[in-house]
Amino acid sequence: MTNSTKKLLVTGSSGLIGSEVVRYFDKFGWQIFGVDNNMRADFFGARGDTRWVQEQLIKECQNFKHVELDIRNRAGVLELFEKIKPDYICHTAAQPSHDLATERTFDDFDVNAVGTLNLLEATRRSCPESPFIHMSTNKVYGDGPNHLNLKETETRWDFSDENYFNGINETFSIDQCKHSLFGVSKVAADVMVQEYGRYFNMPTCALRGGCLTGPNHSGVELHGFLSYLIKVNMVEEEYTIFGYKGKQVRDNIHSYDVARFIDAFFQAPRIGEVYNIGGGRDNSTSILEAFTRIEQISGNKMKYKYSDENRIGDHICYISDLRKIKSHYPNWNITKSLQNVFEEIAESWTKRLVSS
């Protein structure tokens, strides 16, 4: 490694966004330190295991080094940052499930909130000028979007107020609503990222993701909506719709387009910023619409059952308003269409199911 080689630290490096970021920057010859301890397998069991991604990264990425570390380990995090002094930090590690947070409340808050604090303080002590990006979530808005006026169509719910045609923007309130415990732990992390930026004048950014997806997602029922839905169709199992008639809407963004924005922010960082990042209206789909699309790709009829009990904090309709992020970074845009996303995930599951 030369003195000019850029050093990137990625937490959750075996996860969907983390692994995409590793592959993206590996092509530029950056030295990448991937922090991951396969906590997803602990949270979700064998189906959530991401060691297969870790093995792929070690094999395929010439500039990648895996670091087995739990971000709750404060002393370990501080020591790692002091040793590496990364030039850039991308924090994607998280406990990502509404449902699981209720069962494992301490783990949820310690990973999402305290883990983020550990990383921020380590950055402040060792490399305060290094841009720090945190993968937050649209769940910081709680169920606030559900209180907007909605209209029901044949296949989806949608905003009836034309002011929300482009979706939810960053000024939407995160207060006085129901979040789920997961949503609260992510709010704590999100606000802390902003505060380290504003209070210490550090280049930090909270990315409030819509439905982040892609072919490397280890989707399970409790997390990974689109990946899991497509997998269920591919193996011809039964999918459970939880409430809202299956017309609840998500906007889907491919992990590659998230990595592209992270690159843009690293090149032109800002202080204590917040951006909603998702697929926008063009990449939005309801569950019913997703059934139709994957049926056309796979040829398999979707098997499903319906439960009237919706998940606490679940959004009826959520679309990310991308106007702010595009105004600050006009060269960034969505390059992967919704059809691209479906086809890539379907192809990935086909390969994984054959190899298993």
pLDDT of residue 3: 45
The mean of the pLDDT values for the chain is 94
- CA–CA distance, 159 with 146 (Å, rounded to integer): 10
Where is 88: in which H helix or E strand? strand 88-91
Averaged pLDDT for residues 255-274: 98
Averaged pLDDT for residues 293-298: 97
Model's pTM, two decimal places?
A: 0.94
Averaged pLDDT for residues 291-311: 95
- Check whether 6 has a pLDDT greater than 60: yes
- CA–CA distance, 340 with 252 (Å, rounded to integer): 11
CA distances from 134 to 142, 285, 306 (A): 18, 26, 35
State what percent of residues in the chain have pLDDT above 90.
84
Q: State the first-to-last Cα distance of the chain, in angstroms, to the nearest integer.
A: 38
- CA–CA distance, 83 with 202 (Å, rounded to integer): 20
- CA–CA distance, 298 with 343 (Å, rounded to integer): 9
Averaged pLDDT for residues 248-271: 97
Token digits of residue 214: 């892609």
pLDDT of residue 98: 77
Token digits of residue 152: 């029901």
HSE-up of 2 (CA within 13 Å, CB side)? 4
pLDDT in tens, 201-212: 999 999 999 999
Averaged pLDDT for residues 69-96: 97
Give the start-to-end residue ranges of the domains of the chain. 7-355
Averaged pLDDT for residues 24-40: 96
Q: Using an 8 Å Cβ cutoff, are 342 and 229 in contact?
A: no
CB atoms within 10 A of CB 31: 20
7-355 to CATH, choices 2.30.30.30, 3.40.50.300, 3.50.50.60, 3.40.50.720: 3.40.50.720
pLDDT of residue 137: 95
Token digits of residue 165: 């045609």
- What pLDDT band is residue 1 in, cutting at 50, 70 and 90? very low
Tell me which of 112-121, 166-175, 210-219 is least confident: 210-219
pLDDT greater at residue 2 or residue 84? 84
